[in-house]
Amino acid sequence: MKLHRRSKKRRQKRKISPMERLIFSILGIVLLGDIVGAIMYLRQSPDVQADLMAYVATGNALSFFQIFWRQFLYQLTIWLMGLTLIGNVVNLFLIFVRGVSAGFNLAVLIREIGIASGAGVILLWLMQYILILFTTILSVYFSFRFAYFMIKCLMKKKYNLIKKHIKGYARQFVVLMVLTLFSAMLSAVTTPRIQQQLARHVFSVETSE
């Protein structure tokens, strides 16, 4: 009984760590961005929505190298911003913009094609988005974690640990690049298929009219 009470008290006393709060905050910012992006699309007039749909469907598909380069620059920006405190604030804005873009795109798919008829397209899009989102969240988490440990080292005057954390931050960037490589490969495969489905939908709507 005493052991049970002690373990219960420990669970009650357990507080959320700063890193856990950071993860929850990042997820909240992404979710807020998703909602804002979806609202932005839904508030457009039907004519504007149709034009956006046609633009997305008929746009030129990017090659693997173009996709990888864009994602690489995005992740590199977050990583470099993580070297400064002000840069980490910028990172929160960058991940919010990522959420806005995702919410906007998802609203296009659901509104124009529908969940039932466009389940396959939406699933393809979600596959690439989840991997990109995971990489981005991890990148922002690493940047804040690095800043947190650097401040801790400076406050406690443990200057000998600074080099260690810098090396660790560099290794984390390598991990991010591997994830970026996989997400670019997935996007290069799924994006043309998504565009084909959207083009068919646009064509069917135009012929029915």
Number of domains in the chain: 1
- H helical segments located in the chain: 2-13, 18-42, 46-58, 64-81, 85-112, 119-155, 162-208
Q: Check pLDDT > 90 for residue 69.
A: yes
Helix (H, G, I), strand (E, B) or coil at 106: helix
Give the model's pLDDT for residue 170: 92
CA–CA separation, 159 vs 155, rounded Å?
9
User: Which pLDDT band holds residue 208 (cuts at 50, 70, 90)?
Assistant: low
User: Which pLDDT band holds residue 165 (cuts at 50, 70, 90)?
Assistant: confident
110 within some domain:
yes
CA angle, residues 164, 147, 18, in degrees to nearest 5 = 110
Residue corresponding to tokens 């996709």: 67
pLDDT winner (highest mean) among 3-7, 107-111, 128-132, 174-178: 174-178
Q: Check pLDDT > 60 for residue 9.
A: no
47 within some domain:
yes
7 within some domain:
no
142 within some domain:
yes
pLDDT > 70: what percent of the chain? 78
Write the CA distances from 111 to 44, 103, 182, integer angstroms: 12, 12, 29
Q: Which residues contact 12 (CB under 8 A, 6 or more apart)?
A: none
196 within some domain:
yes
Q: Check pLDDT > 90 for residue 171.
A: yes
Q: Check pLDDT > 90 for residue 32.
A: yes
Beta carbons of 10 and 136 less than 8 angstroms apart = no
Helix (H, G, I), strand (E, B) or coil at 44: coil
CA–CA separation, 65 vs 21, rounded Å?
36
Structural domain of 68: 27-204
Give the model's pLDDT for residue 175: 94
Give pLDDT tens digits for 179-195.
Answer: 999 999 988 888 887 77
102 within some domain:
yes
CA–CA separation, 189 vs 128, rounded Å?
10
Handedness of CA 115, 60, 71, 38 (dihedral sign): negative
Q: Check pLDDT > 60 for residue 36.
A: yes
CA–CA separation, 185 vs 127, rounded Å?
12
Residue bearing the bigger pLDDT, 63 or 116 = 63
70 within some domain:
yes
Q: Check pLDDT > 60 for residue 6.
A: no
Residue bearing the bigger pLDDT, 6 or 42 = 42
187 within some domain:
yes
